[in-house]
Amino acid sequence: MKKSLGYLLILGVAGLMKTSTAFATNPLIMDQFTADPTARIFNGKIYVYPSHDIKAPPEYKGKPDWFVMEDYHVFSSSNLTDWKDHGKILSQTTVDWTDPTAYAMWAPDCVFKDGKYYFYFPAIAKPEGKAESATEPKRPEFRIGVAVSDTPYGPFKPLPNYIQGVKGIDPNVLIDKDGTAYLYYSQGKIFVAKLKPNMTEIDGEPITIDNLPTKGLLEGPFAFERKGTYYLTYPHVENKIERLEYATSSSPMGPFKQTGVILDESESGCWTVHHSILDWKGESYLFYHDRDLSPNFDKNRSIRADKLFFNADGTIQKVKPTLRGVGLVNAKSEIQIDRYSEKSAEGVAISFLDQNNPHAGWKTTFGAAKSWVRFNEVDFGRGSQKSIKVRAKTNASSTLEIHLDKQDGPLLGSVKIDDAADWKISSATAKKIPKGVHDIVVTQAGGEAVDVDWVSFK
Ligand code: FUB
């Protein structure tokens, strides 16, 4: 997954300007850590509001090896493939009530009502009142704030104070068919409160949602309505780390009935799994996070998307987490086959291109003859591409065959990679390339082990 000079320049100034990243695969965002994604559709585009993990800066004085989050970015896409970073929309230093040294801008949400966009975010409030004693200062408390904008990408103006009567994290707002808005949030348990029409105050007391698991942490609620059923989905620690579960009800405030599991615990061991669910062009998607760019530290997370399916009775099928993700990949782009859909049981290994810079992405090592990877949903457009290019490296020489749709499908071309001490781009003439969307299978057809960065059809 080589990045061009242009891309490296973009990385250098990230945060200062609006940038475009093009990743149809998981994780969705490569140039920074992102977590807790809430995906929404505004004006025909997908907007994702994640939280933003960073490496602890020297001035961070909080708990070691913990979440360090000082601001929020918002990302948008019209096709689930190309994601645009709209830059920073809110920071701990620009909200009056937040402790500007806490680095605790946790999972947010954003909704549209009556011409305005309301961004809800949890953060640690500046200490209020007297210390309990000289040795026991007042404990930091999470509160939930609101920032308002005329557009989904800001500028967002934070209200001077947090929502009164609410203490907790992970705000999520459901606007019901009759226009009534409900604020869900967590603090060990999950709570819900009606919002007043101004969207910034609660109407009555919050209530605890009953009938949910009573053992193991519950957090990160995401509620939605579908065909008259209200779904409350939430991360829950049933065993050792979080998985995604859901409960259903005929009313937004419950009573809810535990209904099933949406996503099993991550094989990577990532402890948290905050999420949201989005319907887009007739399909449903789960947005969630894992620790793709930080395998050894699960507080530096990365957002992902995978397809989610409902059964005819309204129950949700378990989501299969993938590296391939959900966006179509243009055949002319640098196809990151390390984000494969399937691979041979033996002979294929995926590793970072640069161990010191995970943001540069991964490579695929084909270590045995006949080892292969399948990469789904490549868009050849009108077809007829003339050549196949592969960025690869091998110590001797090696040949890669690229087949259409399946291992023994039509051969699109054989690319010979000669001995090269460093990465180089090798080409071959393409055989007849069809039009439309197809899977490709890349197989090591002979020779020595070979590292592959990307494959492209020109
Ligand atoms: O990102 C910080 C916290 O981790 C979130 O608020 C929780 O939902 C969990 O993902």
Q: Give me ligand 1 centre to Cα 386, in Å.
A: 48
Give one DSSP letter per residue of 71-86, joined into a string: EEEEEEESSSSEEEEE
Ligand 1 pocket member 398 (CB < 6 A): no
Which is the closest atom of ligand 1 to the Cα of 107? 6
- Position 389 scores a pLDDT of 98
- Measured CA to CA, the distance from residue 167 to residue 99 in angstroms comes to 15
- Residues serving a catalytic function are 36, 219
Which is the closest atom of ligand 1 to the Cα of 170? 6
- Measured CA to CA, the distance from residue 28 to residue 98 in angstroms comes to 29
Ligand 1 pocket member 67 (CB < 6 A): yes
Ligand 1 pocket member 107 (CB < 6 A): yes
Using CA atoms, how far residue 258 sits from 175, 212, 232, 244, 295, in Å, is: 22, 6, 9, 12, 32
Intra-chain end-to-end CA distance of the chain, in Å: 17
- Measured CA to CA, the distance from residue 321 to residue 306 in angstroms comes to 6
| Structural domains of the chain, ranges and CATH numbers in brackets | 8-308 (2.115.10.20), 329-457 (2.60.120.260)
- Position 114 scores a pLDDT of 97
Q: Which run of H or of E encompasses 5?
A: helix 5-12
- Tell me: the pLDDT tens digits for 165-209? 999 999 999 999 999 999 999 999 999 999 999 999 999 999 999
Nearest to 280 by CA among 303, 306, 248, 259: 306
- Measured CA to CA, the distance from residue 27 to residue 16 in angstroms comes to 22
For residue 455, the cross-strand partners are: 335, 390
- Position 10 scores a pLDDT of 34
- Measured CA to CA, the distance from residue 111 to residue 117 in angstroms comes to 6
Sheet holding 348-352, edge to edge: 348-352, 362-366, 450-457, 387-394, 420-429
- Position 130 scores a pLDDT of 54
- Measured CA to CA, the distance from residue 379 to residue 435 in angstroms comes to 8
Site to substitute for ligand 1 among 169, 217, 289, 298, most atoms within 8 A of C-beta: 169
Ligand 1 pocket member 298 (CB < 6 A): no
Task: Name the pTM for this structure.
Answer: 0.94
Q: Are strands 372-379 and 437-447 parallel, antiparallel or unpaired?
A: antiparallel
Find the length of the chain.
458
- Measured CA to CA, the distance from residue 96 to residue 98 in angstroms comes to 6
Q: Give me ligand 1 centre to Cα 308, in Å.
A: 22
Instruction: List the chain residues with pLDDT less than 50.
Output: 1-21
- Position 421 scores a pLDDT of 75
Site to substitute for ligand 1 among 72, 272, 290, most atoms within 8 A of C-beta: 272
- Measured CA to CA, the distance from residue 415 to residue 430 in angstroms comes to 9
- Measured CA to CA, the distance from residue 244 to residue 83 in angstroms comes to 25
Ligand 1 pocket member 35 (CB < 6 A): yes
Ligand 1 pocket member 121 (CB < 6 A): no
Q: Give me ligand 1 centre to Cα 327, in Å.
A: 26
Cα-Cα-Cα-Cα torsion 40, 43, 45, 47, nearest 10 degrees, comes to -40
Q: Give me ligand 1 centre to Cα 409, in Å.
A: 44
Q: Give me ligand 1 centre to Cα 365, in Å.
A: 34
Ligand 1 pocket member 169 (CB < 6 A): yes
- Measured CA to CA, the distance from residue 294 to residue 278 in angstroms comes to 26
Token pair 């230093």 is found at 93
- Position 9 scores a pLDDT of 36
- Position 140 scores a pLDDT of 82
